[in-house]
Amino acid sequence: MTGKSSRFPEADLHCHTTSSDGLLTPRELVQAASKLGLKAVGITDHDTISGWNEAVAAGEELDVEILRGIELNTDWNGIEVHILGYEPSGESIPFQEKLRELREGRSNRIIKILGRLHDMNVKIAPEEIKAIAQGESIGRPHVAQVLVQRGYVETIKEAFDQYIGTGAPAYVPHLKLTPEEGINLIRTAGGVAVLAHPGINQLDHQILPWVKAGLQGIEVSHSDHTPEDEQHYRSLAKLYRLIMTGGSDFHGEECKPGVKLGGWGVSYEVTEEIRELAITSKR
């Protein structure tokens, strides 16, 4: 049934690669998906589409369909809200320019984070981050990996809890983009705008205003959702007539332990629904 996630999903529509903060290259990710027998994978790196081409080429070879996606970090009154975009046009100049601005914001933010860490006597050089980050979109997981490597903490989770997570002493917020601006950015480029993992921040009262602003889907199946969250957002999606998407938010075992590729997701038809919606939006 459309939108229904099964125990072994056919499509994992939320995955990160080395283009942002994932540990597998786009090709390695598609190879892993193929081994698992996944029919489709969504590449949703943070603020970059640089993984798309390699993933699509590997997908053609290995018979895994690729949904071209993006994940944007937005801010609603100090709370992080992530917006996924599927099949926006990579050719759109305003889209490309905004992504570049967001990535610049990411790099500047990391420098500020390193400054705060320095004040805490945790001395990490920008070059150490650059050595870890292989792609063009830098993020806190890269800082967390260096904190582990340098022995300041034992795990990525500890790095977030003690240093760089929300509310931790070296936390620096993102460049401010509102959820409406994020939705607009994706829609203007002809993509399908989806609210990522709503169970994390539970801003249910905001969903209707965002739908009015152009939101078209909700991620119901996600590694951070409880079965109750999934059920709840499934009913909200029905109520607001939104597309129900899903995915693991795979970053790699060392980055997010226990979050397996293909562990969360949707049936293959959802991929087709998303494509149809993207085509209709582009008309």
Chain residues binding ligand AMP by CB under 6 A are: 21, 46, 73, 139-141, 156-157, 160, 165, 251, 256
- 85 closest CA partner among 216, 226, 259: 216
3-state secondary structure of 252: coil
# residues near Zn ion by CB under 5 A: 2
State the helix-helix crossing angle for 140-149 and 93-119, rounded to 10 degrees.
30
Residue 136 interacting with Zn ion (CB under 5 A) = no
State the minimum distance, in angstroms, from the CB of residue 169 to ligand AMP.
Answer: 15
Hey, which residues between 147 and 166 contact Fe ion (CB under 5 A)? none
Q: Which is nearer to ligand AMP, 68 or 82 (CB)?
A: 82
Q: Which is nearer to Zn ion, 128 or 249 (CB)?
A: 249
# residues near Fe ion by CB under 5 A: 3
- 41 closest CA partner among 23, 20, 17, 19: 17
Span near Zn ion by CB under 5 A; candidates 96-104, 124-132, 183-191, 245-253 = 245-253
State the helix-helix crossing angle for 93-119 and 179-188, rounded to 10 degrees.
140
Decide if 73 contacts 177 (C-beta within 8 A): yes
State the minimum distance, in angstroms, from the CB of residue 6 to ligand AMP.
Answer: 25
State the residue number with the nearest CB to ligand AMP: 139
Alpha carbon distances (Å) from 220 to 183, 199, 279:
18, 8, 23
What is the amino acid identity at position 233? Y
Give the per-residue contact string, 75-104, with Fe ion (x = CB under 5 A; - = no).
-------x----------------------
Summarize as ranges the residues that interact with Zn ion (CB under 5 A): 71, 249
